[in-house]
A = this chain, B = another copy of it.
Amino acid sequence: MKTLEAQVITSEELLKHWQGHRALTRNVIEAFPEKDFFEFSIGGMRPFAKLADELLAIAAPALKSIVNRDVQPYTEGTEKLIFKAQYLEKWDEATEEINKYWEKLSIEDFNQNFNLFGQYEFPIIQNILYFIDNEVHHRGQGYVYLRALNIEPPFFWER
């Protein structure tokens, strides 16, 4: 049940905020040359493809598991993707899934606890903010990779 009381942020706005970030991350994936997406790294960190594996392993599967209150272990890279185009396809599938599952979240859900991946027992709002922050964090790393490759990254404020 929706309330008409004043909200710091509405559920719809938070979804839009998240999907805006995801659209930007998609542009960052696109900006990488094919080879560098899978191979380039700095200081022993993961290449951007591995970071994208993590982001894909979190977003849609985590939200599904939250909505269904079905604790599932974290599993990354169950399907081995070898082309950037496959990542973009998975990214777009996840976008649709997130939109679909988000509709099932009620405003009362956000403050309920959920043990995400059987490891992170927090209110659902904190889990969701973590997904976003984690994506912004890793994407920030991607920006440095692109700059080091002499590629202009997308504007941060373009979502």
Contacts and interface: CB of A to CB of B under 8 A. Distances in A.
A33 interface: no
Interface residues of A, number: 43
Interface string A28-68: 00000000000000111100000000000000000000000
A78 interface: no
B147 A107 contact: no
Interface string A91-122: 00000000000000001101100000000000
B107 A7 contact: yes
Interface string A1-27: 001011111110110010001000000
Interface in A122-153: 125-126, 129-130, 132-134, 136-141, 143-150
A42 B147 contact: yes
A18 to B, nearest CB: 10
A144 B42 contact: yes
A156 interface: yes
B14 A8 contact: yes
